[in-house]
Amino acid sequence: MTASVVISVSEFKEMNDHVPFTKTHQEQQDMKLNLLKTVEAVYGDRYYRLKEGTRKAIDMMCWFAAEKGFFFASDDYLAARYGVTDKTVRNISKKLRDHGVIQTIYRRSSTQNGLSAPIHLFTAHPYFDHWKQALQLSDFQADFQAEKAEIPCESKVEQPKKVSTKYLSFNKNLLKILRKENRLGYTFTPKNVPQTFIKAVKPFFDEAADIYHLWGKAILAYKKFNLSNVLESYEEIVIEAFKQSVFAHKQRKIRKDFNGYFYGTLVRMFTYKKREETFTTHPSIFNWLEEEENKISFKQVGRQSWQEQIGHLMQKEDRLTQFDPEEIPY
């Protein structure tokens, strides 16, 4: 049994704020029917013999998930709405999870140190690959189910194959080792994480999972902006954001979560970088929509260069926008 994937409150907020895949009611209905087909394939002919309330609960799961690829309605809500038991709803989720139709994660409760209602992601939804990368979801569950489904049933007339007890003993010992919650050092960090970032982070986070999760935050922040280059070209910005976050943590300025503060710092720095790239390409661009008293003209700045004018605008906006760290319990 694999460990549960737990996401933070800020990550859950990012999921809710993501752009919907379906834009109209008809598009959502079409996507719901596509997801429903994957459920019907699991139940087979039994699906149409299910109680009406059970089928309606399944239908609503698919409807909720059609928009962004996931649903988080509680078991009690679906049970009460369609007149079934919460155990029935849990059994539905378990069956779909066992057949690889959905993958379940959990979000950390914002009011207590525990887990709130689960979040179920449909693997057939076009957004699943996005959530898989953004949340660093493991492929173990889906791969395990696929491997399990491909094992053919042996004929009853065939004699059972003899398996070496030495080989079985080796496998049992190997499984015992793998099942232990051994922590992996930074050398196990996947290759898609730049070595310069690993080198900067490892004095504070020396586990591969933590470093990989931090780089995932950088990917998430980078995707919010249409920057000129690939993320690896902005490693210095990412490392600088990490250093600022470490400093803020040492000064006890982070009251809730380091990862959320790091992500917020990155968003601000990428915002400035995007402005810088825009003004570099178009140095005469200004926000002419501001009110007259807030406009900054070339005459007012006198001999200032346009770079200084940009810096003035960025400082002005920085005063108007205060960053509130995202909430992920330490």
Q: What pLDDT digit, counting tens, does each position of 153-181 carry?
A: 444 445 555 545 444 444 556 555 555 55
- For the chain, domains (ranges, CATH) are 6-150 (1.10.10.10), 187-320 (no CATH)
Using DSSP bridges, classify how beta strands 6-7 and 70-71 pair: parallel, antiparallel or unpaired: unpaired
pTM: 0.44
Q: Cα–Cα distance between 63 and 45 in angstroms, integer?
A: 22
Instruction: Report whether 47 contacts 40 (CB < 8 A).
Output: yes
| Segment among 182-191, 256-265, 274-283, 298-307 with least mean pLDDT | 298-307
**What is the per-residue pLDDT for 143?**
46
Give the residue, 3 or 299, on which the prediction is more confident: 3
Please state whether beta strands 115-122 and 70-71 pair in parallel, antiparallel, or not at all (unpaired).
Answer: antiparallel
Neighbours of 27 (CB within 10 A): 14
- How far apart CA 88 and CA 262 sit, in angstroms, is 41
Residue 51: which pLDDT band, with cuts at 50, 70 and 90?
very high
The model's pLDDT over 178-197, given as tens digits with 9 standing for 90+, comes to 555 566 788 888 888 999 99
Task: Give the model's confidence band at 142: pLDDT under 50 very low, under 70 low, under 90 confident, else very high.
Answer: very low
According to DSSP H, which parts of the chain are helical?
9-17, 25-43, 52-68, 75-82, 86-98, 128-134, 140-150, 165-179, 195-201, 208-222, 235-250, 258-281, 298-301, 306-320
Please report which confidence band the pLDDT of residue 327 belongs to, taking 50, 70 and 90 as the band edges: very low
Q: What is the reported pLDDT for 155?
A: 46
Averaged over 296-302, what is the pLDDT?
50
d(CA 111, CA 8): 12
